[in-house]
Amino acid sequence: MSLDTVKNAEQTPDAAQPWAELGLKEDEYARIREILGRRPTGAELAMYSVMWSEHCSYKSSKVHLKQFGEKAPKNDAMLVGIGENAGVVDVGQGYAVTFKVESHNHPSYIEPYQGAATGIGGIVRDILAMGARPVAVMDPLRFGAADHPDTRRVLPGIVAGIGGYGNCLGLPNIGGEVVFDSCYQGNPLVNALCVGVMKHEDIHLAKASGPGNKVILYGARTGGDGIGGVSVLASETFDDTKPTKRPAVQVGDPFQEKLLIECTLEIFREDLVAGIQDLGGAGLSCATSELASAGTGGMRIELDTVPLRDHTLSPEEILMSESQERMCAIVEPGKVDRFLEICEKWDVIATVIGEVTDGERLEIFWHGDLVVDVPPRTVAHEGPTYHRPYARPDWQDALQLDAPTAERLARPGTGAELKDALLKVAGSPNQASKAWITDQYDRFVLGNTVLSHPEDSGMIRIDEETNLGVSVATDGNGRYTKLDPYTGAQLALAEAYRNVAAGGAKPLAVSDCLNFGSPEDPDVMWQFAEATRGLADACQVLGTPVTGGNVSLYNQTGEVAIHPTPVVAVLGVIDDVTRRTPIAFGEQGQLLYLLGDTADELGGSAWSQVVHNHLGGLPPKVDLQREKLLGDILIAASRDGMVDAAHDLSDGGLAQALVESCLKGGNGARVVVPEGLDPFVFLFSESAGRAVVAVPRSEELRFNDMCGARGLPATRIGVVDGDALEVQGQFTVTLAELHEAHTGVIEALLA
Amino acid sequence: MTTRVGVVTFPGSLDDRDAQRAVRLAGAEPVALWHRDKDLHQVDAVVLPGGFSYGDYLRCGAISRFSPVMDTIIEQAKLGMPVLGICNGFQVLCESHLLPGALTRNDSLHFICRDQKLRIENAETAWTRDYSAGQEITVPLKNGEGRFVADERVLDALEAEGRIVARYLDVNPNGSYRDIAGITNAAGNVVGLMPHPEHAVEELTGPTTEGLGFFTSVLKQLVNA
Amino acid sequence: MARVVVDVMLKPEILDPQGQAVQRALPRLGFTGIADVRQGKRFELELEGPVDDAALARIREAAETFLANTVIEDFTVRIEEDGK
C-alpha cells in the first residue's frame, strides 16, 4: 500500500480509518477532521490519537488539576511553574532545584525490570531537559500482598530494574516508600522521582523559536519500542517482511542515558541550545508538537533522516516510537557544528532532522512527501477536555461508620499484649526494615548524600563550600485516602512536609503523582476530585505550591480500583547540611519529647491492618496550622542545635517511631505513658502533626521555652537509655528482640 | 610542588568526581584524564574510578581496557607509577592483566550497597602506607560483580607473597574467594580494591573517614620516592 | 548423559544495549566489517534420562516459563549430539 500523504488524504476523503482501534472516540475523530478541513493522514491520525490519549492529554483530570494553579500560594521561590517538564524552585545562593515524581505503573506490571528501569530513565530526562544536573532519585513503590505469589514475580524485578538502571546512571537513590496492600495486586504502583540542580541562568525550556534554527535529534537510534497500537496503521503500509508484532515493552539502556546526561550538560555549559525537550511517551510526536506549540508554531521535519535501529519502520511508527534515551534540541545554525562535536565526543548519535520555520504549521516530510501538516497547538495543547461525572460512592458512609472503636476491634490491654502488638506491627511487611530492597541501590555515588533511607527524608548537599542542601520526602497513604479522599490527600502532604522538616529543611514546593482507578467510574472520579481539592487546599495553607507531577488513571482490575493513592513529594531547602537531624537516638541520656497532641485515632492505622486486617472509620484529623508550627519548631531546633534526633510519627504511631530510632542508633529508651493517656492510644494512635525528638540535657530549657512560647505541646516522655525499649509499668523489649522482629522480613518473603 | 593524581573518566564512569574530591581532601591536585587521550598530563599517580564503564556490557571493564589512555597507563604501571583501581577500576586492572584473577557476579546475584568492615592486610603498598597491617576500617561497598575469583595456585601465591591488600570482615558481601577485597601486584604500586574508600573521606557523607588513608598514602609514597 | 542446549536471544525488535555497545567498540579495536551484534544466553541442560519427546516438551516448557522472558526474548531448544 502506498504512503498516506496529505495529498492522498485530500483526494480520498472517505477512506476508512482505524480511529477507534487507536482509542479515539467518534467525536474526537470528527474534531480532527474539522481542525484539518480533511481527513487526517495515517501519520496525523497516529499523532492525534496518542497526544489526545488520557496519558498525554490529561483529558479527564485537567478540570480538577486546574486548582493547583488557581489556589497556588504566592511563593517567591517559584521560578518555573506547572506546564513545563518539571517545576523549578529557587533555593538561594544562585541555585535552582527542579524535581518531579511520575508513574510507570502499567509497564512495570507487564515487564517489571524494564518497566521500572525506563521509569527512572524517563523522569531523569525530564529533569535534564530543564537544564539541571540530575543529583538523586527516589522510588515510591506499592505492591500487592507481600505473601502473594505474583508479588514475588513483580517486586524483585522492579527493585532490580530500579537498581540496574539508577546505579548504572550514577544517581544516588535516597528514599521513597515500599507499601504492600492487596488492593495493588495486579496494579503495582511504580512511581519515580528525580531531583536536579542548576544555576538560575541555566534554566532551559521546551520551546522552538527562531525561524531557521535547527531541530536536532540526539541519543539512541529509533526502534519499534512501545508502539503497540499504532501497528494497526503500519500493517497496511508495508509488506510482510517486517516483524508481525511490535514490542509494547521498551528496553532501557542506562549506559546510553549516562552519556546523554554528560553530553547534554556539556552542551548546556557552552550555551548551545535555544530549546530542548526529552522524548518520552509519544516520542517524536510529542516532542515536535510540544516544542513547536510552545514556540512560534512553525516547524519542518524530514522524518526519513531519523537514525533507525529497524529499517522497516513506517513514518507513523517512527513518530510514535517510544525508544528510550533520546532528546530533541533546537539549535541556532551557527552552533550546530559545535553541538555535533560534543555529541561525537560522548559517542552520542546526533542528527539534524529539521528546522524551525516562520509558519504556524508542523510539517513532516517522508522522502519529500508531506505526510503531516497540522497546527501544533491542536495536537499538543488543545486536546479534548472531559467533565466526567462523579458522585460520592454509596458505600462511603458505611465504610466511615465502621470505626475501629474498642468495642469493634479488641485492643491490647496488658503490658504483654502491648509488647506483642508492637512486635507484630514492627515486623509486618509494611513497617519492617526495607534494607533488603534499599541495599540494592547505590546511595553514595556523587558523594553528596547527607541523609538517605531509612531516614525521614533524603538530603543532598548541593554546594561543597557553603553546605547548602536540599531534601525530599515522598508520602502517600491509600488506606487513609480510601476512608476520606479529601483528608487522605492532605495527610500525604502533611506527612511529607513533616518528614522534610524533621530532617531540618524548610519545605518549599510539592510534586505529586496521583494514582487512581478508572475515571469512567463516578466513584473513582469522586475520589480524584476530592483528593485534588484536598491537596490544593492544603498546599495553599502550607504555602507549598504544586510545581508539577503526573496523573495515572485506570489502575484497576476489572471493576475493582486500587485505593486512591496520591503520592506527594515535598522539596525543602537547608542552609547548612551539617545541621541536619537524623532519626537515630545516638546518645544515651538524651531526653525524649513527644511533640503535638495524641488522640484516639486508629482509622486506617497500621495496627488495625496488621492485627485485625481492618479498614474503616475516619483517618486522623488534619490541622495544617499545627503542621506548620511543628515544622517551624523542628527546623529551628535543628538549626540551633536543640535536638540531636527527630522522627516523624505516622503509620504505626509512636511505637513504630521508637523502634526505628532505637534500632538506628543502637540505643534503647525508657518511656513513661503520660498521665491521662491510654497506653495503647499513646503507642499506636496515628494522630497527625506529631514527632518525637531527642534533646540533649543542656538544651532542655531552651527547647521547652521555644515550644512554650510558640504554643506547641511538648511532653517529656522519657530518656535514651540502655539496650532495651521499656514502656514503664507495661513492658520491656530488648533491642535484640526488636531487631529480630524488624529485619529479615522482606527477604524471607521475597528473596 | 603539588602532587598530581589523575582520575580517568571512561564513558560510564560514575565515581570519578568522588575520587577527585578524595584526592583533593588528601592534599593532592586531581587531574581529569579522558579515555580517548593517551597523554597522562604529567600526573604522578592514577586512579581508575568506580562506575559502569561501557555499561558493564560484555564483561565489566572489558571494553575500557582497550581505550587509548589504558595503553599509557599499562606502560607506566609497569614502570612503577602508582595506580589504584576502585570497583570498576579494579575490574579494568584485571582485564588488563596488571592484576591476576577476575571479578564475577556477586554470589547473592544482587547488587549490594552497604557499610563494609575491612582488614588492611598489607600496609606497604603505594596506596596503603598510611595504614597499619591488621588495621580495621569501615568504608562503603557497592557492587554487582565484586566476587574475586582466581585459581588455587594464584590464590596461594597471592597469600604467600603478601599481595592480599584487604579482606572483608564480619560479612563476605559477594562471595569473594578467601574474603579478598583488594590485591596488589608484586611491586606494590598497582592496587585493585572492590570497596570504595573515596566514599569514606568526609564525616558528613560517609560512614567514616577511614578511606582517606588510601589517598594520603600515595602522597607520602611520592614525596619519599 | 544427553545434553540439550537452550539459546535465549532478545527478540529482534527489542533493543539490545549490550550488543550495541560491543558493536560500537569493535571498529575501535580494528575489527571492521561487522554490521550488527546481538548478545544472548546459552543454557546447557544435562538430562538424567533419554532425550525423548516428553523430555523435550518439558524443557520447552521450562524455557518458555523460566529460562526465557517471552515478553522480550525468544528461545530455541536443540539436542547436542554425543562427541561434540
CA angle A165, A247, A305 (to 5 degrees): 85
Cβ-nearest to C17 among B55, B63, B66: B55
User: Is A142 in contact with A179 (CB distance < 8 Å)?
Assistant: yes
What span, in angstroms and rounded, lies between the C-alpha atoms of B203 and A582?
Answer: 14
Which chain B residues contact residue C25 at CB under 8 A? 54, 58, 63, 66
Which candidate in A64, A104, A148, A453 is catalytic? A104
> Would you state the cell numbers that stand for residue A352, as one nine-digit string?
539534524
DSSP C66: I
Question: Residues with Cβ < 8 Å from A592, sequence gap 6 or more?
Answer: A585, A669, A671, A692, A693, A694, A695, A716, A717, A718, A719, A720
CA distance C57 to chain A (A): 24
**Could you tell me which residues are beta bridge partners of residue A507?**
A572
Q: What is the pLDDT of residue A247?
A: 59
Give the pLDDT means over successive 10-residue stretches in chain A (751 positions): 88 93 92 97 94 90 94 85 83 96 92 94 95 96 96 95 96 97 96 96 85 96 77 43 54 94 96 93 91 91 95 91 95 97 96 95 96 95 94 98 96 97 98 97 97 97 97 98 98 98 97 96 98 98 95 92 98 98 97 98 98 98 98 97 97 98 98 97 98 98 97 98 97 98 95 77
Which chain A residues contact residue B50 at CB under 8 A? 445
Pick the closest to residue A658 from A686, A689, A693, A627 (CA basis): A693
Name the amino acid, one letter, at A184. Answer: Y
> Would you state the cell numbers that stand for residue B140, as one nine-digit string?
562503603
What span, in angstroms and rounded, lies between the C-alpha atoms of A19 and A379?
Answer: 15
Q: What is the pLDDT of residue A76?
A: 79
Tell which phi-psi region holds residue A732, choosing left (phi > 0), alpha (psi between -120 and 50) or beta. Answer: beta
DSSP sequence for A355-373? EEESSS-EEEEETTEEEEE
What's the CA dihedral at A685, A687, A690, A693 to 10 degrees? Answer: 0
Q: What is the pLDDT of residue A239?
A: 38
3-state helix, strand, coil in chain A (%, to 5): 40, 25, 40
The number of helices, as runs of H, and strands, as runs of E, in chain A is 27, 28
Cβ-nearest to B11 among A169, A346, A449: A346
Pick the closest to residue A463 from A578, A379, A309 (CA basis): A578
CA distance C66 to chain B (A): 17
For residue A196, the SS3 value is strand
What span, in angstroms and rounded, lies between the C-alpha atoms of C84 and C82?
Answer: 6
Subunits close to A (at least 3 CB pairs below 8 A)? B, C
Which residue of chain C has the CA closest to B68? C28
CA distance B199 to chain A (A): 6
Query: What does each C-alpha distance from A487 to A68, A338, A495, A628 come to in angstroms?
Result: 16, 53, 12, 16
Q: Hey, are the CB atoms on B111 and A578 less than 8 Å from each other?
A: no
CA distance A348 to chain C (A): 11
Q: Is B196 a catalytic residue?
A: yes
For helices A254-269 and A149-169, angle between their N-to-C axes, nearest 10 degrees: 40
What span, in angstroms and rounded, lies between the C-alpha atoms of A95 and A77?
Answer: 11
What span, in angstroms and rounded, lies between the C-alpha atoms of B118 and B197?
Answer: 11
> Would you state the cell numbers that stand for residue A120, as one nine-digit string?
527512572
Taking CB atoms and an 8 Å cut-off, how many pairs form between chains A and C?
43
CA distance B181 to chain A (A): 18
Which candidate in B87, B94, B145, B210 is catalytic? B87
Question: Residues with Cβ < 8 Å from A169, sequence gap 6 or more?
Answer: A120, A121, A124, A134, A254, A257, A258, A261, B14
Bond prior to A140 in cis (omega within 30° of 0) = no
DSSP C80: E
- Residue A337 touches chain B, beta carbons under 8 Å: no
What span, in angstroms and rounded, lies between the C-alpha atoms of B77 and B169?
Answer: 29
The residue among C11, C13, C22, C23 with the most chain A CBs within 10 A of its CB, best to mutate, is C13
> Residues C22-81: pLDDT tens digits?
888 888 888 999 988 999 999 999 998 888 999 999 999 999 988 888 878 899 999 987
**Could you tell me which residues are beta bridge partners of residue A298?**
A357
Which residue of chain A has the CA closest to B106? A440
Pick the closest to residue B61 from B90, B37, B83 (CA basis): B90
Q: Hey, are the CB atoms on A258 and B14 less than 8 Å from each other?
A: yes
Query: What does each C-alpha distance from A649 to A498, A588, A653, B110 come to in angstroms?
Result: 9, 21, 5, 32
Q: How far is CA A426 from the centre of its chain?
A: 26
Q: How many other C-beta atoms are found inside a 10 Å radius of the C-beta of residue A275? A: 23
Which chain C residues contact residue B57 at CB under 8 A? 17-18, 21-22, 39
- Residue A253 touches chain B, beta carbons under 8 Å: yes
Q: Hey, are the CB atoms on B66 and C17 less than 8 Å from each other?
A: no
Name the amino acid, one letter, at B52. Answer: F
What span, in angstroms and rounded, lies between the C-alpha atoms of B56 and B49?
Answer: 14
Q: Hey, are the CB atoms on A250 and C21 less than 8 Å from each other?
A: no
> Would you state the cell numbers that stand for residue B124, as one nine-digit string?
606497604
Q: How many other C-beta atoms are found inside a 10 Å radius of the C-beta of residue C11? A: 17
Mean pLDDT to the nearest integer, B206-225: 90
Which residue of chain A has the CA closest to C16? A251
Backbone angles phi, psi at B192, to 5 degrees: -115, 135
What span, in angstroms and rounded, lies between the C-alpha atoms of B118 and B116?
Answer: 6
The residue among B9, B13, B14, B16 with the most chain A CBs within 10 A of its CB, best to mutate, is B14
Cβ-nearest to A446 among B17, B111, B142: B17
Backbone angles phi, psi at B108, to 5 degrees: -75, -15
- Residue A445 touches chain B, beta carbons under 8 Å: yes
Q: Is B198 a catalytic residue?
A: yes
> Would you state the cell numbers that stand for residue A604, as one nine-digit string?
486506617
DSSP C84: -
Query: What does each C-alpha distance from A389 to A65, A336, A486, A524, B80 come to in angstroms?
Result: 16, 50, 18, 10, 77
**Could you tell me which residues are beta bridge partners of residue A243?**
none
| pTM: predicted TM-score of the whole model, two decimal places | 0.93
Pick the closest to residue A528 from A563, A576, A572 (CA basis): A563
Q: What is the pLDDT of residue A229?
A: 53
Which residue of chain B has the CA closest to C17? B57
Burial class (CB in 10 A: 0-12, 13-18, 19+), A722: middle
Q: Hey, are the CB atoms on C18 and B63 less than 8 Å from each other?
A: no
Q: Hey, are the CB atoms on C39 and B58 less than 8 Å from each other?
A: yes
Cβ-nearest to C17 among A225, A243, A256: A256
- Chain A stretch 281-300, residues whose beta carbon is closer than 8 A to a beta carbon of chain C: none
What span, in angstroms and rounded, lies between the C-alpha atoms of B17 and A497?
Answer: 32
Q: What is the pLDDT of residue A226?
A: 78
Q: How far is CA A128 from the centre of its chain?
A: 16
User: Is B120 in contact with B128 (CB distance < 8 Å)?
Assistant: yes
Q: What is the ipTM of this complex?
A: 0.95
Mean of pLDDT over chain B = 95
CA distance C4 to chain B (A): 25
Q: How many other C-beta atoms are found inside a 10 Å radius of the C-beta of residue A713? A: 16
| The pairing of beta strand A691-695 with beta strand A275-278 | unpaired
> Would you state the cell numbers that stand for residue A509, as one nine-digit string?
514546593
